[in-house]
Structure 1
Amino acid sequence: MSPEQGARRSQVVMVEPALTQLVKLDASETHRLDRAIVAISVNPALGTAVPGTLLRDYADEVDGVRVIYYVTALRTITIVAYVEA
């Protein structure tokens, strides 16, 4: 009997605006952001849809992070456009 598989995570890619923000974060902020990115990769529907766009806006009030992203049609790649921590 084969082991049960968990939810399939999407691959996460960051584009230039997100990378620019990422280099400004300290270790603690990066760690908090990492948790949010993992959550989004497992469940891309976490964020709120931005009206009139394909973008989603995910804000984690507990960790104090915000991620703006979109997901490809097959939900295999999550493209991060902006991060804030």
Structure 2
Amino acid sequence: MPARRRAQIAFSDSAAKQLENLTDEHQIHALDRSLVAISVDPDIGDPIPGDTTQPELRQYADDTEHVRVLYFVTALRTVVVVAYIEV
């Protein structure tokens, strides 16, 4: 059985700006671990309640690392677009 491919991670303009402002090494590593988890399994996050848009906006939260990521997945599930980062 072939290994499942990871989805690529892309950032919206606002998420890219948030990423640029991260300077704390611990926060950067925590975010990186969260992004790896999302890229391996894009369905890991929970759908945002009440969101009826397509593609569906999802939320991944890691309470241990204090990371929250809002994202959506493209139709072919090959790209995850990060819309918002909270670290």
- Shorter-chain TM-score above 0.5: yes
Partner SS, residue 35 of structure 1:
helix
Counterpart residue type for residue 52 of structure 1:
T
Q: Whole-Å Cα distance in 1 between the matches of residues 21 and 37 of structure 2?
A: 22
Aligned length: 82
1:22-76 per-residue CA deviation (whole Å, 9 max, x = no partner) reads 1221221011000000000000001110132310010001111000000001100
1:15 equivalent to 2:17? Answer: no
1:75 equivalent to 2:81? Answer: no
RMSD across aligned C-alpha pairs, in angstroms? 1.1
1:55 equivalent to 2:57? Answer: yes
Q: TM-score, normalised by structure 1?
A: 0.89
Runs of at least 4 residues of structure 1 off by over 4 A?
Answer: none
Identify unmatched segments of 5+ residues in structure 2. Answer: none
Q: TM-score, normalised by structure 2?
A: 0.87
In structure 2, the residue matched to 1:31 is 29
Identity rate of aligned residues, in percent? Answer: 48
Q: Whole-Å Cα distance in 2 between the matches of residues 36 and 82 of structure 1?
A: 13
User: Which structure is larger by alpha-carbon Rg, 1 or 2?
Assistant: 1
Identify unmatched segments of 5+ residues in structure 1. Answer: none
